[in-house]
């Protein structure tokens, strides 16, 4: 199955009501991560993005030049995605972040903009790691 947004119609930008409907109980986790980032980086620009029909709608919070985090809506859960440069990757590998995330970032293909990872958010057990990743992303 393709890893694609639950929102695929380019002409219909998702609303909070749409998110609640698709994410169900996971909407509260989405909101928690969204609010966490904006509390740490109040100047963040939060926006829906439609990169193409292959991916559908995604949500990102960015600074002036780069995305801090992507929130990727799926049915009854969502993913968070980050792209990290070398300094951030090194800090992640030395941190207390879960070994699963360290393995994923260590195996991620290295591109000019960095290494990208996607993390499924299905419950609140991952929130502590996501907060550490946000802090590292904002640092670099």
| SS3 per residue for 18-71 | HHHHHHHHHHHHHHHHHHHHHHHCCCCEEEEECCCCCCCCEEEEECCCCEEEEE
Kindly give the confidence (pLDDT) of every residue in the chain, 140 residues in length, as a single tens digit, with 9 standing for 90 and above. 458 899 999 999 999 999 999 999 999 999 999 999 999 999 999 999 999 988 999 999 999 889 999 999 999 999 999 999 999 999 999 999 999 999 999 999 999 999 999 999 999 999 999 999 999 999 99
Domain 16-139 has CATH 3.90.1150: yes
Taking the model in full, what pTM does it have?
A: 0.94
d(CA 14, CA 72): 12
Q: Give me the residue spans of the domains in the chain.
A: 16-139
Measure the CA angle with vertex 19, ends 43 and 58; round to 5°. 55
First and final CA of the chain: distance in angstroms? 34
């Amino acid at each position: 199955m393709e890893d694609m947004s639950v929102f695929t119609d380019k002409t219909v930008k998702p609303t909070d009501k749409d998110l609640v409907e698709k994410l169900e109980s996971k909407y509260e986790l989405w909101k928690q991560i969204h609010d966490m980032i904006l509390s740490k980086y109040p100047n963040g620009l939060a926006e829906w993005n439609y990169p193409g029909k292959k991916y559908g709608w995604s949500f990102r919070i960015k600074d002036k030049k780069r995305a801090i985090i992507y929130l990727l809506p799926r049915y009854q859960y969502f993913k968070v995605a980050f792209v990290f440069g070398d300094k951030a990757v090194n800090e992640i590998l030395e941190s207390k972040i879960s070994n699963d995330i360290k393995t994923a970032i260590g195996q991620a293909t290295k591109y000019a903009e960095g290494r990208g990872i996607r993390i499924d958010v299905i419950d609140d057990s991952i929130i502590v790691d996501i907060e550490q990743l946000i802090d590292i992303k904002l640092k670099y």
